[in-house]
Amino acid sequence: MHRLLVLLAVMSLMASDIAAGTAQTPPPKGDYPIVVNTAYPNDAAARAAWQPMAGSAPVSVAEVGGRKAVRMTCNFAGTNFERASWDVAVALDLVTCQGIQFRFFCRDWSPVSHFSLYFQSGKGWYAATFSPTSLSGWQTIAIPKSETTVEGSPSGWGKIERLRISAWRGQDTDVEFYIAGIGLAGTDASIVIVRADSAAPASAGEARAVSQFSQTVARALDDLDIPCLILSDRDVNAERLRGRSIAILPHNPSLPDETLDALVQFARGGGKIFCFYTLPPKLGPVIGIETGRHIAQQFDGYFSSIHFVEKALAGAPPVVDQKSWNITEAKAVPGRSRVAAFWYGSKGESTGHAAIVVSDNGGFMTHVLLGDDPAGKRRMLLAMVGHFMPGAWEQAAKASIARIGRIGPYDDFDKAKSAILGGADQGSPAGAQSAIRAASTARDEAIALRSAGRFAEALSKADAAASLTLNAYCMAQQPRPGEHRAFWCHSAFGVAGMDWDAAIKNLADNGFTAILPNMLWGGVAFYESKVLPVAPEIKEKGDQIALCVAACRKYGLKCHVWKVNWNMGSRAPKEFAERMRSEGRTQVRFDGKPENWLCPSHPENQKLEIASMVEVATKYDVDGVHFDYIRYPDNQCCFCEGCRKRFEAAAGVTVADWPRAVLRDASLRQKWLDFRRSNITTVVAAVSEAARKAKPSIKISAAVFRNWTTDRDSVGQDWKVWCDKGYLDFVCPMDYTASPAEFENMVRLQQGWAGKIPCYPGIGLSVWTPRGDICKLIEMIQITRRLGTGGFTVFNYAEFEARDVVPLCGKGITRRP
Ligand SMILES: [Zn+2]
């Protein structure tokens, strides 16, 4: 089975050298149904099919090892559009496949920040981003429908009218890439996941939730090697449900009537239905489960874990962690259904509320499936699915055993084992060796159990073996002395369930050297400030900078206090935010809508930004102050009346057609972009000067967007200048991509922009899916070492990272001497 839900299903193929025009290795022929045949006879035919977007260059035909491909050239040199794009008209029904795939080659895609693929359907789009992982040859890029997000109101996967490939500008350098053989990925599956596309347009938040919760279920099933198909709720009909076993509704706040009717018919014909969080009234009687009121948590941690009733659901784990904040009450119907699991609180007490109810026709979970405890979730889903599809157990056991060795750079267990054992000569710790031997024994047992048909036990053994392998791999990593190893901490109160002392000790014990705690915003401070409004909790919980700094001094960590600049933040007191607005100090968008950000050109706002950071630098024994949001929100800000006056004065112009002219008139636009940059840079320079004057040892740093060349225009963040002029002592570009190749590309560029000052790249540990992938973190850290950055900055230090990731780092990659 192709692991389709891994965004980049990469098949390593032989290297080719298209650059020289003497490519020997053709793109491999499609072993999948082709829907766009890219073997055009000549350029004219290719150009008739592929339309460039305004500014993009026309496509051409490339002959690669005797086979045809389409060449797409991104003309980024000397132009200023943000992406190169090409559209091909299609008439595709992608309803009953998992997604699409195609062959891709690009020799060096560093001028591109990332690629996107769009599917147009009616008045909307499905969109996905992708980053190639290989620079040496053709690879297969798979775009699963489950990984797409919704823009506008698409009319479902049955009516795809257009595909669009976009390459987003990274550098002002031309680059070309090649594609071949666009085809279908994945065929029929026994399980359908009904995605609530009809509910998505209600709000951006709803669209995100719909996409996220469908993906959580799809990924868990994919990890179990159980094929599933995502169906838009607009596409569900009796025909498309025929022959399937289970329909899953992961988060469906509403459903079209025809869809409900089709599901009812499906269930009457023997199909099983699992719903999460919302049970449509029409389906309740069919499944045999009743739902009631909405129940909010009584306190944080009220719904902390799901405890299964013994023997209620064969193979279910006894406990699965999930921190939910509310549920929909559910009841079993006597004679038809039973409660299989209850919610428990953080202190191990039962809430008495049902978490999962099952019947002979399906089941209901009283909240959505969240991404925490992925192993537990997989097992729970398997028990739910396996209840109706016993074959799923064998399939999952096989997949789990195969997964044991897929870790870090290794794609099977024997390779991982021999690498970890072979590391003994180079000082691979004894702990790593004994862990991998124990993993090997557990794996053998898992294989024997599977052969004996004891699949649930085989799965448990395989999970244990995987965990031992992970430990061995982490222990086998070597630290590099002298590195700057930092974590951002987004909460001013540190890590939930730990005080600052314990949180800092955990970092220090595991070899981290610095923390960047977010202690102030544009409109609120979490310390005793004389400049900014102070958050009311400080009275009770104490001055957070003082507490954090005390712990840092005790355990030898550096403390760089992080400010979210300009953005007042949701915790800013209402009176303060209203006063700023009434005094004309907040930003106004191009369309006239207000922003919750302070206007960077207003002299009083600049003073406030500077004074608050200097206050932190001088009042506390901090090692540094750290800028964030040190930019405009986007290119649509700020068009307040004050900006008009101050821009006209600064540029020596009178703008008649405000605000349109500053964006449309080319010479005004340049002046406008310079004006925006200088408003931001002024503050960086002033903080740097004043803080250093008061405390010469202080370090000034900033979290910045990753692509200086375009971001200096779009958000006015001219951070190369801040490095060149020495305003900063180090810079942390937020390189949160999950693609190591893209990360490496970006860091290499950023090192050039940072020049003489260190660039400690930001690693997006907590924003990846699944969250907190330690193997990927290790890979990214190894890239920073290969590039010689001297350190890195991880986002974000919270409960999960403190408990599950930091100690694993401490075993090897950041181990203390
Ligand atoms: Zn303004």
pLDDT of residue 302: 95
CA of 231 to the centre of ligand 1 (A): 45
CA of 647 to the centre of ligand 1 (A): 9
Give the span between the Cα atoms of 654 and 657, in whole angstroms: 9
CA of 364 to the centre of ligand 1 (A): 51
| Predicted confidence (pLDDT) per residue in 239-269, tens digit | 899 989 999 999 999 999 999 999 999 999 9
pLDDT of residue 138: 86
Share of the chain above pLDDT 90, in %: 75
Higher per-residue pLDDT: 554 or 709: 554
7 pLDDT higher than 70: no
CA of 580 to the centre of ligand 1 (A): 12
**What is the pLDDT confidence band of residue 426, given thresholds at 50, 70 and 90?**
low
Mean pLDDT of 626-635: 97
Q: Scan for tokens 């260190």, then name that residue.
A: 758
CA of 629 to the centre of ligand 1 (A): 16
How far from chain centre, in Å, is Cα 587?
28
Kindly report the average pLDDT of the chain as a whole number.
91
pLDDT of residue 739: 85
pLDDT of residue 2: 35
Give the span between the Cα atoms of 255 and 249, in whole angstroms: 10
Mean pLDDT of 795-812: 96
CA of 728 to the centre of ligand 1 (A): 25
CA of 567 to the centre of ligand 1 (A): 13
Mean pLDDT of 155-160: 88
Amino acid identity for residue 790 in this structure: G
CA of 642 to the centre of ligand 1 (A): 6
| Burial of 116 per CB tally in 10 Å (0-12, 13-18, 19+) | middle
| Predicted confidence (pLDDT) per residue in 513-571, tens digit | 999 999 999 999 999 999 999 999 999 999 999 999 999 999 999 999 999 999 999 99
CA of 536 to the centre of ligand 1 (A): 29
| Predicted confidence (pLDDT) per residue in 261-281, tens digit | 999 999 999 999 999 999 999
CA of 645 to the centre of ligand 1 (A): 9
Higher per-residue pLDDT: 110 or 587: 587
8 A C-beta contact, residue 110 and residue 71 = no
What DSSP string runs through 77-108? Answer: TT---SEEEEEEEEEE--TTSSEEEEEEE-S-
- The 3-class SS string of 593-651 reads CEEEEECCCCHHHHHHHHHHHHHHHHHCCCCEEEEECCCCCCCCCCCCHHHHHHHHHHH
Dig out the tokens for 105 from the structure: 């080659």
CA of 643 to the centre of ligand 1 (A): 4
Nearest CA-CA partner of 610 in 531, 723, 535, 676? 531
CA of 571 to the centre of ligand 1 (A): 22
Mean pLDDT of 684-701: 98
Dig out the tokens for 410 from the structure: 């290794």
**What is the pLDDT confidence band of residue 479, given thresholds at 50, 70 and 90?**
very high
Give the span between the Cα atoms of 267 and 269, in whole angstroms: 5
Mean pLDDT of 342-361: 95
| Predicted confidence (pLDDT) per residue in 91-122, tens digit | 999 988 889 999 999 888 888 888 999 999 99
Higher per-residue pLDDT: 148 or 188: 148
CA of 686 to the centre of ligand 1 (A): 20
Among positive and negative, which fits the CA dihedral 321, 326, 332, 336? negative
What DSSP string runs through 422-469? Answer: HGGGGT--HHHHHHHHHHHHHHHHHHHHHHTT-HHHHHHHHHHHHHHH
Ramachandran bin of 517, using left for φ above 0, alpha for ψ from -120 to 50, beta for the remaining angles: beta
Give the span between the Cα atoms of 373 and 724, in whole angstroms: 45
CA of 797 to the centre of ligand 1 (A): 34
**What is the pLDDT confidence band of residue 207, given thresholds at 50, 70 and 90?**
confident
**What is the pLDDT confidence band of residue 206, given thresholds at 50, 70 and 90?**
confident
Amino acid identity for residue 639 in this structure: F
225 pLDDT higher than 70: yes
Share of the chain above pLDDT 70, in %: 95
Mean pLDDT of 191-202: 87
655 pLDDT higher than 60: yes
CA of 598 to the centre of ligand 1 (A): 8
| Burial of 170 per CB tally in 10 Å (0-12, 13-18, 19+) | buried
CA of 584 to the centre of ligand 1 (A): 8
CA of 565 to the centre of ligand 1 (A): 15
CA of 348 to the centre of ligand 1 (A): 52
CA of 560 to the centre of ligand 1 (A): 29
CA of 532 to the centre of ligand 1 (A): 20
19 pLDDT higher than 80: no
pLDDT of residue 12: 32
pLDDT of residue 201: 77
CA of 678 to the centre of ligand 1 (A): 13
CA of 588 to the centre of ligand 1 (A): 6
pTM: 0.78
Q: Is 679 helix (H, G, I), strand (E, B) or coil?
A: helix
Mean pLDDT of 499-503: 98
CA of 723 to the centre of ligand 1 (A): 26
8 A C-beta contact, residue 498 and residue 491 = no
Return the minimum-mean-pLDDT range out of 226-230, 442-446, 790-794. 226-230
CA of 685 to the centre of ligand 1 (A): 20
Beta strands at 319-324 and 303-308: parallel, antiparallel or unpaired: antiparallel
**What is the pLDDT confidence band of residue 135, given thresholds at 50, 70 and 90?**
low
CA of 716 to the centre of ligand 1 (A): 13
Q: Scan for tokens 């991509």, then name that residue.
A: 737
CA of 8 to the centre of ligand 1 (A): 42
8 A C-beta contact, residue 799 and residue 497 = yes
Give the list of residues 6+ apart from residue 161 with CB closer than 8 angstroms, or none.
89, 90, 91, 120, 121, 122
CA of 170 to the centre of ligand 1 (A): 28
| Predicted confidence (pLDDT) per residue in 727-752, tens digit | 999 999 999 988 888 899 899 999 99
Give the list of residues 6+ apart from residue 755 with CB closer than 8 angstroms, or none.
720, 723, 724
CA of 638 to the centre of ligand 1 (A): 4
CA of 644 to the centre of ligand 1 (A): 8
Nearest CA-CA partner of 2 in 116, 106, 140? 140
Nearest CA-CA partner of 492 in 554, 538, 424? 538
**What is the pLDDT confidence band of residue 13, given thresholds at 50, 70 and 90?**
very low
8 A C-beta contact, residue 524 and residue 532 = yes
